[in-house]
Amino acid sequence: MNKNMLVLAYLGDSIYETYIRKYLIDKGISKVKELQSESIKYVSARAQADYLKEMINNNFFDEQELNIITCARNHKSNHKPKNCDIITYKNATGLEALIGYLYLEEKVDRIDKIVNYILGR
């Protein structure tokens, strides 16, 4: 398995966004502009960082998951985020890396639990 945190985050970002897009489509939203507008509530770095913080505060993650999140947040990157501060960006990267890791480990049930928590289901 690839342990490069940024690669895991890259993969996790696409998987997480797919979950969110499916959720919004299942809600009956059929206009692309509205889908995009609604998705920002879940997929922006700020939203992801806020959800991650809440989940950590509620002891949602196990020790291994927290380790992945921490490693991803601490990973050095030359990327400069456009729409948020670096701490928010790194927290969002932590959530994305965890989802990427879980996907590669075929722990889709755990991804489901994370996304369902975020969606309030």
Domains of the chain in sequence order:
5-119 (1.10.1520.10)
Among 13, 50, 85, 112, the active-site one is 13
Q: What was the pLDDT predicted at 83?
A: 77
pLDDT (tens digit per residue) in 14-35: 999 999 999 999 999 999 999 9
Q: What is the pTM of this model?
A: 0.91
**What single-letter amino acid sits at 97?**
A
Q: Side-chain half-sphere of 9: how many Cα atoms within 13 Å?
A: 22
In the block, tokens 């770095």 appear at: 45
Q: What was the pLDDT predicted at 72?
A: 93
pLDDT (tens digit per residue) in 72-104: 988 876 666 677 888 899 999 999 999 999 999
Q: Is the pLDDT of residue 1 over 90?
A: no
Active site residue 13: yes
